[in-house]
Structure 1
Amino acid sequence: MDWQQISFEVQKSEVDLISEVLVGLGSLSITFKDAQGNDIYEPPVGTTPLWEKVTVTALFSSEMSKDYVEKTILEICDINISDASSLKDKVWEKECQKDFPAMQFGKKLWVCPSWDIKPELSTGAIVIEMDPGLAFGTGTHQTTSLCLEYLDENPPVNLDVIDFGCGTGILAIAAAKLKAKSVLAIDNDPQAVMASHENANKNHCNDVINTIHSMDQDNSSRCDLLIANILANPIIELEPLFSEFLKSNGTILLSGIIKDQVKEVVSCYSQNFTGIKLANKDEWYRISATRKFS
């Protein structure tokens, strides 16, 4: 079956109404996209903000009359179609797989989905087997890429590592495969905890990685390296806990920070950390630093 996509550019206040009408017309899916390029990176907890101007796109079967949809929307919402296009049916699983090829990070680290060719281990490649799922982190985002590149350049050999906000467990697995002595992977999302455990098992790292929910964490844990690829606000709020987790002269690796937030994060960590270093990909930044002797 072929499909057609019909888009409307609306004000934020009109989104709920037009969505209800589109559902009533039999839309198979509705997506929202910023119409003006104003990104929302870190909304307050418990909120689902929208942009001031939103592009609403509805997917219909090819049998649905575009003119009928436009006429109905115009009568109820007084909004015209901004774009309409046909969409050929495809094997969507294979289409999605094209967006997740094997990727190299630094000199040795590779993240490889099950459907792509893996590099020969004889070349010294260290392979993380990882398929995209519901939890965050497959290496495609700049924040994860920055952390993987750091680990490749600074392998945590014989170190105790904490991956706080582990998502899929990709960074915990990278640390384990780079010869960490132990890795504690922590997340507050049960789905992420499950994904991390399964991915660690798939990569034969369960003897090194212990995956737990944040509610079960023991604040007496101490580590040589703490990784937090989360967001700036929790990074700032958790500084006292992270400082407590780290051994003196241990390293902290923070990611998920946009350019406008760097100064505030650096200021927050300057009291207990030294040797602060920055790296970035596009608007996303990574911060590494050393815990001062306490």
Structure 2
Amino acid sequence: MSVVYLGFHFTVEPKDPGTEILIAELGELPFESFVEQEHGVTAYIQQSAYEEGMVENLYIVNSPEFTITHTVETIEQVNWNEEWEKNFDPIDVDGKCYVRAPFHEKTNALYDIVIEPKMSFGTGHHETTHMMIQQLLEMDLVGKKTLDMGCGTAILAILAEMKGAQPIDAIDIDAWCYVNSIENAERNHCHHITVEEGDARLLPGRSYDVIIANINRNILINDMATYADCLAPEGYLLLSGFYVDDIPYLDAACQPFGLVFEKKWERNNWASLRYKKQ
């Protein structure tokens, strides 16, 4: 029996940064895929996972700063690849990293990454992934033992390997992300990435030179002690998945563990931070 999905077609005004904020909030619910449209975004969720009021209670939906309307469509089957291919455009990050689909032509970019996801998070489209790519581009990763926590499509782990990091652990709690990360690592001819399904409970006893964590504010704060314990002295912690207004909370969570702030990135109200362990 086929799985029945609901497609929520959102119109968002203003679209930027409203669409990105909406996707972030929906991403914390059981919505599985997002396709950005001209005036907003379409979000997909299994009908069995949807609960009445789930969308209406979102913070951004009730914010006076945005006007958000939506219609709902019942879909018997979703061809995710077809939906994605109709809307996916290649991403150029600072002229150095090019993220594309298999059906796009190869480029001469220093780092040419091929990703075939079923959702927009982790393709480079989302602000937080874009900033994390920028972070990695300016770092020396050669020989660095690296963790990509909440890896999604494993795009950041793939870039880390291209920049010389090894070995690399890529972990995500979502079973689909686990499978897709393995596929994308193979697609990019990576040989030093180990993909695992799970969360921070897998980490005790491990040690890393670089930890990449692009998740959300609450999970980052909750797991900060674990990250710090696994980070080697002089190691780097790269964080994203939160808004600019959340920075004080992340900073307060880092300070007790000897994590010293080094640099900040901002993009359409989203933030990314780099810390170094003393």
CA–CA distance in 2 between the matches of 1:94 and 1:200? Answer: 22
Instruction: Decide whether aligned partners of structure 1 residues 32 and 102 sit closer, same or farther in structure 2, where only a CA change above 3 A counts.
Output: closer
- Asked if 1 retains the 8 angstrom alpha-carbon contact of 2:84 and 2:118, the reply is no
What letter matches 1:211 in structure 2?
Answer: V
Q: Check conservation: 1:231, 1:257, Cα contact below 8 A.
A: yes
The alignment status of 1:201 with 2:183, answered yes or no, reads no
Distance 1:144 1:166 in 2: 10
Counterpart of 1:103 (choices 91, 98, 119) is 91
Partner of 2:237: helix, strand, or coil? strand
Residues 248 and 118 from structure 1, CA distance in 2 versus in 1: closer, same or farther, beyond 3 angstroms?
Answer: same
2:240 matched to which residue of 1? 255
Aligned residue runs from structure 1 range 51-62, under 5 A: 51-52=61-62, 55-57=69-71
Provide TM-score, normalisation by structure 1: 0.69
Q: What do residues 245-281 of structure 1 show as CA deviations (whole Å, max 9, x unaligned)?
A: 1001100000111021111111111222113321111
Q: Is the 8 A contact 1:102 1:118 kept in 2?
A: no
Deviations 1:28-78 (A, max 9, x none): 955355679875544877883423486232569xxxxxxxxxxxxxxxxxx
Distance 2:106 2:245 in 1: 38
Aligned counterpart, 1:213: 197
Larger radius of gyration: 1
Amino acid at match of 1:146: M
- 1:31 maps to what in 2? 9
State the TM-score, normalized to the length of structure 2. Answer: 0.73
Render the CA deviation track for 1:131-177: whole Å, top value 9, x for unaligned.
23148310011100001111111141110000000001000111011
Q: How many residues align?
A: 230
Task: Say if 2:81 and 2:118, in contact at 8 Å, map to a contact too.
Answer: no
1:98–1:210 Cα change, 3 Å: same
* Matched position secondary structure for 1:111: strand
Specify the alignment match of 1:10 in structure 2: none
CA RMSD of superposed structures (Å): 3.0
CA distance in 1, matches of 2:14, 2:120: 28
Among 258, 261, 273, the alignment partner of 1:275 is 261
- Which segments of structure 1 move beyond 4 Å, counting only runs of 4 or more? 32-47, 92-96
**C-alpha distance in 1 between matches for 2:70 and 2:120:** 26
Is 1:128 aligned to 2:142, yes or no?
Answer: no
Q: Distance in 1 between matches of 2:105 and 2:13?
A: 38
Tell whether the 8 Å contact from 1:223 to 1:246 is kept in structure 2 after alignment: yes
For 1:135 and 1:58, the matched residues in 2 are separated by: 20
How far apart are the structure 1 equivalents of 2:13 and 2:91?
Answer: 31
Alignment partner of 1:192 is 2:180 = no
Alignment correspondent of 1:290: 276
Native 8 Å contact 2:224 2:253 kept in 1: yes
Q: Which residue of 1 aligns with 2:151?
A: 166
Deviations 1:14-33 (A, max 9, x none): xxxxxxxxxxxxxx955355
Q: How does 1:63-102 map to 2 (within 5 A)?
A: 96-97=84-85, 99-102=87-90
Aligned position for 1:138: 123
